[in-house]
Amino acid sequence: MPLAEFRYASGHKVHAGDKGRVYPPKGYVGGGGVIYVLRAAIHGPDANLWGALKVASDDLNVTLQVNSFDTGTHSPNSRHYAGLAADINKMGDKRSTWQQVTMNNRFAVEFVDLFLAAGWRIGEGDPTRAGILLGPPHSRWNPTGIDHTTHLHLSIARFRPGEMPPGFEGERLDTHC
């Protein structure tokens, strides 16, 4: 499935409680990407967020670490709490040489470019858009006032365009990371 197909929530959660090297699972050969999870997800990431991470990591042959899916402290009503966002804090060609995710990590830059080409948008604030945030406040890939110097926030949309329930209060750009 092309990356763009993973932009919207499926409502189905995967990998609750899993940590360490989650992709590829032990005994399986993956497509080049490797995903570590530092803190086990409580309810698990949405299957489409997980799918997007797998496809992108395979495409770029990158080894990455997700620091948080639905754990930790985020803004109220953050997509994290719905399993729709991942914070990625390490990226490299392998675990022994991966580096902190910043705007200067070339794997992170390639990652951002890949997702933008697949329809993700910088920032959040629209529940029908998949979002990315990376970098210091009010910088190229981070229009918010919330610091993302050391991690990449990747989210998928809560709803498909036209399917947002009536009465759903829009997200505010500065409060969702």
| Token pair listed for 76 | 């109220």
Residue 70 contacts Zn ion per CB under 5 A: no
Of 57-65, 96-104, 116-124, 148-156, the segment contacting Zn ion by CB under 5 A is: 148-156
Q: How far is the CB of 35 from Zn ion (least distance, A)?
A: 16
Query: Is cis: bond before 24, omega within 30 of 0?
Result: yes
Closer by beta carbon to Zn ion, 7 or else 153: 153
Residue 177 contacts Zn ion per CB under 5 A: yes
| Token pair listed for 136 | 């210091």
Question: Which 9-28 positions form the footprint of Zn ion (CB under 5 A)?
Answer: none
Binding residue for Zn ion, selected from 90, 153, 158, 176, defined by CB under 5 A: 153
Rounded to the nearest 5°, which phi and psi values hold at 130? -80, 140
Closer by beta carbon to Zn ion, 31 or else 145: 145
Locate all alpha helices (DSSP H) within the chain, ordered by sequence. 47-60, 106-117
Closer by beta carbon to Zn ion, 128 or else 150: 150
Residue 171 contacts Zn ion per CB under 5 A: no
Is residue 156 within 8 A of residue 55, CB to CB? The reply is: no
Select from 125, 141, 122 the least CA-distant residue to 75: 125
* Count of beta carbons in the 10 Å neighbourhood of residue 101: 26
Question: Site size for Zn ion, by CB under 5 A?
Answer: 3
Is residue 127 within 8 A of residue 85, CB to CB? The reply is: no
Is residue 110 within 8 A of residue 60, CB to CB? The reply is: yes
CA-CA distance, 146 to 136, in Å (whole number)? 8
Of 28-36, 39-47, 80-88, 114-122, the segment contacting Zn ion by CB under 5 A is: 80-88
Binding residue for Zn ion, selected from 87, 98, 111, 156, defined by CB under 5 A: 87
Closer by beta carbon to Zn ion, 149 or else 167: 149
Q: How far is the CB of 68 from Zn ion (least distance, A)?
A: 7
Positions in the binding site for Zn ion (CB under 5 A)? 87, 153, 177
